[in-house]
Structure 1
Amino acid sequence: MLEQLDHPVTDRRQVGEPDLAVWLAHYGPALRRYFGRRVGDIEVDDLVQEVFLRLHAARRDTPIDNVDRYMFTVARNVLVSRHRSDRARGGPFHQTLEGMNEPVDHLSPERIAIGSEEYARAVRAIVALPPRARAAFQFHRFENMTYQSIAQRMGISKESVKELIHRALVRIAEQMEAEA
């Protein structure tokens, strides 16, 4: 079948359809060298595979007259496509995350104590709210109810619910800031 590669493939019925595995064995090393000079070793096999996928797709539609020229034209186009997609995704600015498996923020005993104190302050601030504002706030924040459903449940307008929740947020922030 390698004899077929030496002659341009003009008609599949006359010459027979070349086997993709034979093309890979014949052209694979040259493509690897071509890509190896232009990209990192990690990408070479992916690019060679991309060339053969495109070759396989094109081969179904029309016969390939000059396999050498076509193969390296496809290889160049694959490189151009890879370069464009890398540039669009910010490839030159990409940093690998090797060695960054450690959590960014360690939960130290001090941080846990500070978080517990802040939680207690927030609870005290919510409990200190006027009853209607506290109810509207709890419905919205803890039960995930919409303003409309809170308004129906409390028998008030949607605008009143917005105002109650706004006042509750302001009072909670003020009280937590005063305690800090």
Structure 2
Amino acid sequence: MRRRGLSEETAADLTQDTFVRLMGANPKGNQNNPRAYLFKISRNLAIDYHRREQAAPVDHIPDAEFTAIADPRPSAEAALYDKQRLALSDAALAELPERTRRAFELYRLEDLTIAEVAEKIGLSTTRTWALIRDAYRHVRIRLQDL
């Protein structure tokens, strides 16, 4: 297998596959020359391997580069921390007076402008911004408890 231009790992895998196929083969038809049959199996597996490589080549990267690839998912600790912060934020928003909470939700969750929020809740833009600023402060203070 190595003489057929395969890497050491691939040659070892295909050699193992060869013997597995040989053990599962029909012994009656291969009694004349079992060595030739063994070489035929290995040759066919090598040909199949080369065909697969040409059809869908695989880029091999060194182990150092592979371990340096970052997992896009957050760690379990980060996910738990974020859930705790979200729960605290939700509790902090629930503590706010109705008008302040409504202004904050319209601004942050519904992506309205300050002027649009002010119009919806019936206050001036200056007073509306003060309510939103107070909500931010309150949530930030509550998140410091974590």
- Aligned runs of 1:91-102 on 2, under 5 Å? 99=65, 102=69
Aligned to 1:150: 117
Structure 1, unpaired ranges of 5+: 1-98
Aligned to 1:47: none
Deviations 1:133-177 (A, max 9, x none): 100000000000011111111111111111100111111111221
**What is the CA–CA distance in structure 1 between the aligned matches of 2:128 and 2:89, rounded to whole Å?**
21
Deviations 1:87-128 (A, max 9, x none): xxxxxxxxxxxx477226652222211111111111111111
| Alignment counterpart, residue 111 of structure 1, candidates 78, 81, 97 | 78
Task: Please report the RMSD computed on the Cα atoms of aligned residues, expressed in angstroms.
Answer: 2.2
Indicate whether 1:163 and 2:130 are aligned: yes
**What is the CA–CA distance in structure 2 between the aligned matches of 1:151 and 1:108, rounded to whole Å?**
40
Deviations 1:48-75 (A, max 9, x none): xxxxxxxxxxxxxxxxxxxxxxxxxxxx
Indicate whether 1:131 and 2:103 are aligned: no
Give TM-score, length-normalised by structure 1: 0.41
1:123 maps to a residue whose letter is: D
What SS does structure 1 have at the residue aligned with 2:78? helix
What SS does structure 2 have at the residue aligned with 1:107? coil
**What is the CA–CA distance in structure 1 between the aligned matches of 2:118 and 2:82, rounded to whole Å?**
33
What SS does structure 1 have at the residue aligned with 2:111? coil
2:98 maps to a residue whose letter is: P
2:112 maps to a residue whose letter is: M
Q: Which runs of 4+ in 1 moved over 4 A?
A: none
Structure of higher RCO (CA pairs closer than 8 Å, 6+ residues apart): 2
Indicate whether 1:174 and 2:141 are aligned: yes
What SS does structure 1 have at the residue aligned with 2:96? coil
Indicate whether 1:140 and 2:107 are aligned: yes
Give TM-score, length-normalised by structure 2: 0.50
Percent identical pairs in the alignment equals 23
Structure 2, unpaired ranges of 5+: 1-64
